[in-house]
């Protein structure tokens, strides 16, 4: 096995035993990037020299016998939505093309405190608005399983990089499925924790009441390791919840006897791809054979999730993106002759079409005369969607659903039809609306060789149940070992 293919857990062990050095590991990832990046386009920014220097510093300290934190010297990468002090943070937008943040966000700071190695910043949909990483101002990221296909989005660069071994793991963000959907389409593990579990401070905001940070990794154990590091209360984020963080690796058990798994019938709809459906059925069978109890449940308001989301998320986004005005940082149009033009031209030239579309939608649904009909209505439907889940979790420990209705689609296939694109998030969005934790993990490959993912959802702050169920399944199957032949 080559070094860049190591899981985080394996690398931690080898580093501790001094079988490898962090510099070797980092160099291996960088070599892999060099080899594949022109095909994949996963990264926006590479921090080559800094990464090697960080790795060497850790190696020196290890050689001196200094005690080191678990993630010391592990090469990871960040979606370019994470604010990184001194390292360009673009959010895949022209408006932040040259933005160099003067501060670090909380999740990043926690990684820094662990002495991780930052390989670079990963491509994404512009301001995380998209499901295919096609709306990036800089480049389109390809799916490492098939370069003609999208990697999913918005954390598509993260998913592609992890799947291709360009980094050992990555952080993404998930507002409507942006971690889970690309994880599914690239055959990796991605978890969106409970809203409030991980600080949002220093994460460029898309839709504040929905955004959540999470790890994207090769397997479930790595997911638990990274979540251990980044989870926890942050006094700088008012919506972060002050609640102890359990050691998620303690939940990695293979015995699921008596575990109640709910299957919401509303997810097995017409548009569901036959191969995805088959993979899910196989997974259920697997769980049954492991001793879990499968129970059909109902989430009656599922069909309303997409319209609800596409009112609430753009509304919040329209306000969150008002700060990109060309005054203090970011792009200012050289063509502006007065203040009004400074605003209009900077924003019109700085934002791409999808971002503008959502700002327009959001502005519209909040504007006088429409607020009640759209925004307030959607917030009420959000309550109904939450209640669906609350009822379901009276009966079961976790819910199991497909992550996406189909495997990855072709580049360009949906980019001219926003509504069609929005519907590709149909199975992930309501988890954000409810604020629940959800994980996608690999559960199959299509006949075309494209990954298929399944989603585990648990009640608030019950990530442990997800890790438990996911690990048991993973250990019983081989899907997580499959790698693209790139």
Partner 1 sequence: MIQKDTVATIAKLARLEFTEPELMTFADQMNQILGFMEQLDGLDTSKIEATSHAVDIPGPMREDRVVESNVIESLLKENAPDHEDNFFRVPKVL
Partner 2 sequence: MSISYETVIGLEVHAQLKTESKIFSAASTQFGAPPNTNTDPVTLGLPGVLPVLNMGVVEMAIKAGLATHCEIAPRSIFARKNYFYPDLPKGYQISQFELPICQRGWINIKVDGQEKKIGITRIHLEEDAGKLLHDFGDSDFSHVDLNRAGVPLIETVSEPDMRSAAEASAYLKHLRDIFVYLGICDGNMEEGSFRCDANVSIRPVGQKEFGTRAELKNMNSFRNVERAIEYEVKRQEALLADGKVVVQETRLWNADKGVSESMRSKEEANDYRYFPDPDLLPLIVDAKWVERLKNSQPELAHEKSLRFQKDYNIPEYDAEVLTADRSIAEHWEKSVQGLKSLEAKKVSNLYMTHLLKLQKETPETFERITSEKVIEILHLVESGKISLNMAKEVLDEVAGSDKAVADIIAAKGFVQISDTATLEQTIDKVLADNPDNLAAYKGGKEKLFGFFVGQTMKALGGKANPQVVNDILKKKLKS
Residues interacting with partner 2, by CB under 8 A?
82-83, 89, 91, 96, 99, 101-103, 105, 200-205, 207-209, 235-239, 315-316, 318-319, 321-323, 325, 327-329, 339, 343, 363, 366-368, 371, 375
Does 485 participate in catalysis according to the annotation? no
Q: At closest approach, how far in Å is the CB of 310 from partner 2? A: 16
Nearer to partner 2, 207 or 421 (CB): 207
What Cα–Cα distance (Å) separates residue 83 from each residue in 101, 107, 142, 156? 6, 10, 24, 18
Q: At closest approach, how far in Å is the CB of 385 from partner 1? A: 9
Does 208 participate in catalysis according to the annotation? no
Nearer to partner 2, 265 or 371 (CB): 371
Q: Which residues of 151-189 are buried (b: 16+ CB within 10 A; e: fewer)?
A: bbbbbbbbbbbbbbbbbbbbbbbbbbbbbbbbbbbbbbb
> How many C-beta atoms lie closer than 10 Å to residue 372's C-beta?
8
Contact 83, 199 (CB under 8 A): no
Q: At closest approach, how far in Å is the CB of 125 from partner 2? A: 16
Of 440, 438, 442, which Cα lies nearest the Cα of 478? 442
Name the binder of 382 from partner 1, partner 2, none, CB < 5-8 A by kind.
Answer: partner 1
Choosing from 21, 131, 158, 178, the catalytic residue is 178
Q: Helix, strand or coil for residue 173?
A: strand
Nearer to partner 1, 267 or 309 (CB): 309
Q: At closest approach, how far in Å is the CB of 392 from partner 2? A: 25
Does 79 participate in catalysis according to the annotation? yes
Q: Under 8 Å CB-to-CB from 171, ≥6 apart: which residues? A: 76, 78, 79, 82, 107, 111, 158, 213, 214, 215, 216, 226, 230
CA pair distance 192, 184, nearest whole angstrom: 13
Q: Tell me whether residue 328 is exposed, middle or buried, using C-beta atoms within 10 angstroms of its C-beta: 0 to 12, 13 to 18, 19 or more.
A: exposed
Nearer to partner 1, 196 or 453 (CB): 196
CA pair distance 390, 423, nearest whole angstrom: 24
Contact 185, 228 (CB under 8 A): no
Q: At closest approach, how far in Å is the CB of 214 from partner 1? A: 15
Choosing from 79, 121, 414, 465, the catalytic residue is 79
Name the binder of 371 from partner 1, partner 2, none, CB < 5-8 A by kind.
Answer: partner 2
Name the binder of 383 from partner 1, partner 2, none, CB < 5-8 A by kind.
Answer: partner 1
Name the binder of 98 from partner 2, partner 1, none, CB < 5-8 A by kind.
Answer: partner 1
Q: At closest approach, how far in Å is the CB of 290 from partner 2? A: 40
Q: Which tokens in the block code for residue 66?
A: 């200094």
Nearer to partner 1, 284 or 342 (CB): 342
Nearer to partner 1, 250 or 303 (CB): 303
> Catalytic amino acids?
79, 154, 178
């Amino acid at each position: 096995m080559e070094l860049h293919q190591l899981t985080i857990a394996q690398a931690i062990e080898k580093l501790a035993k001094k079988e490898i050095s962090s510099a070797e590991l980092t160099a291996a990832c960088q070599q892999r990037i060099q080899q594949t990046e022109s095909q994949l386009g996963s990264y926006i920014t590479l921090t080559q020299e800094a990464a090697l220097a960080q790795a060497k510093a850790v190696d020196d300290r290890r050689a001196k016998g200094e005690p080191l934190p678990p993630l010391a010297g592990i090469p990871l990468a960040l979606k370019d939505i994470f604010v990184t002090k001194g390292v360009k943070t673009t959010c895949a937008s022209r408006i932040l093309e040259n933005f160099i943040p003067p501060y670090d966000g909380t999740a990043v700071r926690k990684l820094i405190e662990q002495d991780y190695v930052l390989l670079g910043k990963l491509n994404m949909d512009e301001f995380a608005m998209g499901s295919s990483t096609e709306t990036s101002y800089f480049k389109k990221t390809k799916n490492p399983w098939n370069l003609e296909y999208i990697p999913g989005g918005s954390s598509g660069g993260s998913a592609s990089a992890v799947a291709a071994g360009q980094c050992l793991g990555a952080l993404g963000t998930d507002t409507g499925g942006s971690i889970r959907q690309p994880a599914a389409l690239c055959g990796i593990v991605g978890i969106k924790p409970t809203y409030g579990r991980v600080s949002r401070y220093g994460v460029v905001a898309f839709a504040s009441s929905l955004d959540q940070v999470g790890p994207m990794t090769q397997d479930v154990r790595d997911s638990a390791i990274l979540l251990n590091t980044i989870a926890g209360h942050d006094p700088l984020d008012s919506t972060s919840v002050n609640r102890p963080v359990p050691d998620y690796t303690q939940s990695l058990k293979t015995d699921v006897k008596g575990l109640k798994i709910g299957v919401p019938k509303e997810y097995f709809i017409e548009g569901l791809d036959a191969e995805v459906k088959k993979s899910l059925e196989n997974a259920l069978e697997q769980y049954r054979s492991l001793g879990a109890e499968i129970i059909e449940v109902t989430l009656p308001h599922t069909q309303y999730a997409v319209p609800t989301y596409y009112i609430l998320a753009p509304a919040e986004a329209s306000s969150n993106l008002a700060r990109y005005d060309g005054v203090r940082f970011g792009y200012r149009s050289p063509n502006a002759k007065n203040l009004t033009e400074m605003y209009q031209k900077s924003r019109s030239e700085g934002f791409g079409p999808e971002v503008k579309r959502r700002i327009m939608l959001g502005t519209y649904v909040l504007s006088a005369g429409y607020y009640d009909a759209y925004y307030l209505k959607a917030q009420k439907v959000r309550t109904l969607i939450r209640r669906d889940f609350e009822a379901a979790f009276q009966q079961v420990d976790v819910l199991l659903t497909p992550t996406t209705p189909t495997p990855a689609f072709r580049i360009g296939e949906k980019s001219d039809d926003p509504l069609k694109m929005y519907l590709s998030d149909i199975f992930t969005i309501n988890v954000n609306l409810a604020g629940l934790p959800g994980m996608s993990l690999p559960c199959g490959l299509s006949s075309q060789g494209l990954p298929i993912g399944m989603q585990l959802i648990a009640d608030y702050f019950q990530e442990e149940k997800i890790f438990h169920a996911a690990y048991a399944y993973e250990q019983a199957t081989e899907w997580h070992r499959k790698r693209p032949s790139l």
